[in-house]
Amino acid sequence: MIPKNIPCDEDVPKVPDLSNSINKIVVSRGNPFAKLMIIGEAPGAKEEEIGEPFVGRSGKLLDQLLQNAAIDTIQDVYFCNVVKCRPPENRRPTKAEIQENLPWLYQQIKLVNPEIIVLVGATALEAILENTSPISILRGKWINWDGRLVMPIFHPAYLLRNQSKEEGTPMSLTKLDFLKIKEKIDTLK
């Protein structure tokens, strides 16, 4: 659940230490009125350069998976990340960095008010659901959270390292997950 008392704008802590070493804070891309929000971990080098989430190699694969499921990446989706600044050497964000960034993410969720949230990878899963079960167990499942439908999926960076399309592989399971997501979007229209 989003906590009742999210800090208001003046109280929201400054995007933490990470913001000292970066040029850009990466907030979002896509449609702020979309029913589907996709939440990743943190921007990488390309995202920092362009100033938008998921525009590097992982993002291109993510767009392709969405398009294969007939989900329009401009109209149907709002993309963002748990952490808004690129961690040095693309390391995973620390627990403290995640905690400091969460109020910003909660504000985004409140403003966009998506009916469906897709959690891309373990960092987003743990940050939102506070659940440390392996993503391989929770992926593809609908979970009720804050009055919304949430589905964790494998991170596309992981899929890029495991490209086999055979039945039962992470890539083929993720394709099925996106078909489920598309089906759900259609029921909301």
Closer of 11 and 157 to ligand URA (Cβ): 157
Among 16, 30, 44, 170, binds ligand URA (CB under 6 A): 44
Among 31, 47, 73, 116, binds ligand URA (CB under 6 A): 47
- Cα(172)–Cα(68) distance, integer angstroms: 12
Closer of 56 and 140 to ligand URA (Cβ): 56
Closest CA to 82 of 66, 94, 64: 94
According to CB under 6 A, which residues from 73 to 102 bind ligand URA? 81
Cβ at position 5, least distance to ligand URA in Å: 28
Among 30, 37, 58, 178, binds ligand URA (CB under 6 A): 58
- Cα(88)–Cα(43) distance, integer angstroms: 11
Cβ at position 121, least distance to ligand URA in Å: 6
**In contact, 76 and 34? CB cutoff 8 Å:** yes
According to CB under 6 A, which residues from 118 to 177 bind ligand URA? 120
Assign residue 12 a region: left if phi > 0, alpha if psi is -120 to 50, beta otherwise?
beta
Question: Which one of the spans 16-24, 39-47, 132-140, 143-151 is the region binding ligand URA (CB under 6 A)?
Answer: 39-47
Q: Residue 41 is inside which H or E element, if any?
A: none
Closest CA to 157 of 58, 42, 41: 58
Among 16, 31, 41, 108, binds ligand URA (CB under 6 A): 41
Cβ at position 43, least distance to ligand URA in Å: 5
Question: Which one of the spans 1-9, 41-49, 162-170, 180-188 is the region binding ligand URA (CB under 6 A)?
Answer: 41-49
Using DSSP, state whether 39 is helix, strand or coil.
strand
Closest CA to 78 of 159, 157, 185, 155: 185
Other residues' Cβ atoms within 10 Å of the Cβ of residue 130: 9
Contact residues for ligand URA, defined by CB under 6 A: 40-44, 47, 53-54, 56, 58-59, 81, 120
